[in-house]
Amino acid sequence: MLYNKLATKTAQALNEQVELEAASSQYYLAMASWAEVQGYNGIAQFLYRHSDEERVHMLKLIHFINDRGGHGIVPALKQPDLEFRNIHDIFEHVLTHEILVSTEINKLIDLCLQEKDYTTHTFLQWYVTEQIEEEKMARQILDKLKLIGEDKGGLYIFDRDMGTMRTEDRH
């Protein structure tokens, strides 16, 4: 196995990130389902795509771990929240969650530097850039929602526009 004793810490930490990315996918899937049931079809489409994107992030990690001689572990996940107060609440959760993911990526970067695992450090730079985009997107959505307030017409247009908003990797 290519991972030595020091790199085993990195493999374990990467598998923890796999779990976080998988949980993120489930979390956004639960949000999408809630939005769809509430009649926010555009927002639901956006969140379904975002859920898929998080799954891709998870798979990218699993492949990297396996390619380096480790074993990418498929995690068991707990049930995500199923109910949300409103659309504003959902996107507050999205921003909070993306900040959490960024924090965990930064911890991984720190570990790589401590362990002198420069290959994994380089690999993780993609995630650093991705998280900047994820947080920016969530903040911009929240800014739009603050402008709209509770205006039903504004929410209708926002919902429609969210259905066509791209979530794919933007770089």
Binding-site members are 21, 54, 57, 98, 131
End-to-end CA distance of the chain: 33
Integer-rounded Cα radius of gyration of the chain: 18
Q: Provide long-range contacts, Cβ within 8 A and 24+ apart, for 47-54.
A: 47/90, 49/166, 49/167, 49/168, 50/94, 50/167, 51/25, 51/26, 52/25, 53/167, 53/168, 53/169, 54/21, 54/22, 54/24, 54/25, 54/28
> For residue 48, what are the contacts with CB-CB under 8 A and spacing of at least 6?
28, 29, 32
Binding site as annotated, residues for Fe cation: 21, 54, 57, 98, 131
